[in-house]
Amino acid sequence: MIVKPRIRGFICTTAHPTGCEANVRNQIDYVQQAGAISQGQVKNVLVLGCSGGYGLASRIVAAFGCGANTLGVSFEKLPGQKKTATAGWYNNIAFEAAADDAGLYAKTLDGDAFSDEMRAQVIDTIRADMGKIDLVVYSLASPVRQHPHTGHLHRSSIKPLGQALHIKSVNVDKGEVIEVDLEGATEQETADTVAVMGGEDWEFWMDALLQADVLAQGCQTVAYTYIGTKLTWPIYWEGTLGQAKLDLDRASKAIDHKLRALQGTARVAVLKAIVSQASSAIPVVPLYVALLFKVMKELGNHEDIISHIHRLFATQLASGSALRLDEDGRIRMDNIELAEEVQAEVQRRWPLVNTDNLDQLGDLAGYQEDFLKIFGFGFADVDYDAEVDPTLGRLV
């Protein structure tokens, strides 16, 4: 079949197998060209949420930057003869093939990472293949979570707390700057969002790994988060998402205390704004990101996903690195985004931007390009008019 992007709102319902492979290969090439990172405590790595975005980048940097063995977990939709898989399915296959070529151990488990069954499967795999884990990366992004103990299906809501919110945003498809009204969240919606995006599941994972004795002495675990600036705080940090992020901070401290017996650590890492399927669903964020990218590219300090995660590993996670911590003990990787010269210019442009000047003040084209690349589209060396087998010749 010939695969073209089919976009519905902030979701692309197709993914290009060859394009996804190109995306993975390009990230690997970047890491290899950047040079080896001191391996330190990055030898056997578990990545929860490994198939895209920061999770995939973390797996690539761990493997091809540090030479680590990697075990990944993700939940993907399989392809059929006339339909594509999710991009993550193709990403995982491309990564495993590249790791195999490089002589690196890489295995991916597909299923519900929130379930106790997946935890058991991961532990069995670690015992059989890896010994003990040095680094656990928690990078799960899902709008829903079925609680493993109660069976209740929690659905997250991206809403402000309390009163309704009127705020500027952008219709990415139409390239129009718009005003949106968002209802305030109920207490139940807030609690459900914390259940999905907070720290409880991270705690469940680390408790299970500790109890199974599959964590190495000095083990590190890191969970990714985003805080942003006052432009996005009304819907992000001061909304339901912010409550979930505060719970992630709580979990970090609880896990860190438990890991002291192994001289291990748990940290939340605050990363920069990126284009992802998850971030595209958050009102305000796409407009902020379009302005931010334009400013950072003009200043010459823009980072894409792979370069950002490479900096995290090289400067923060490698053995002996001095950590850049805030008052709450989080690793701050958003320091370039939050630099005064960057934020002053973004905030200057915010009240000025409208549909007519969006291309001058922001980088919506770059945003759209990055969005399509998530699904394997927009790579110059890929023939998008060629027939491809969406199953990659695999029985599914």
236 a catalytic residue? yes
Q: Which of 54, 138, 224, 236 is catalytic?
A: 236
Beta strands 165-171; 265-270: pairing state:
unpaired
Strand segments, DSSP code E, in the chain are: 7-8, 11-12, 44-48, 69-74, 106-110, 133-138, 144-146, 153-155, 165-171, 176-182, 215-225, 265-270, 331-332
Helices 187-197 and 240-259, packing angle to 10 deg:
40
Q: Are the CB atoms for 183 and 159 separated by under 8 Å? A: yes
Distance CA 135, CA 123 (A): 14
HSE-CB at 117 with a 13 A cutoff on CA atoms is 6
Question: What three-state secondary structure class fits 87?
Answer: helix
Report which DSSP code applies to 260.
G
Q: Which of 341, 329, 336, 291 is nearest to 311 (CA)?
A: 336
d(CA 196, CA 93): 27
Which residues are annotated as catalytic? 236
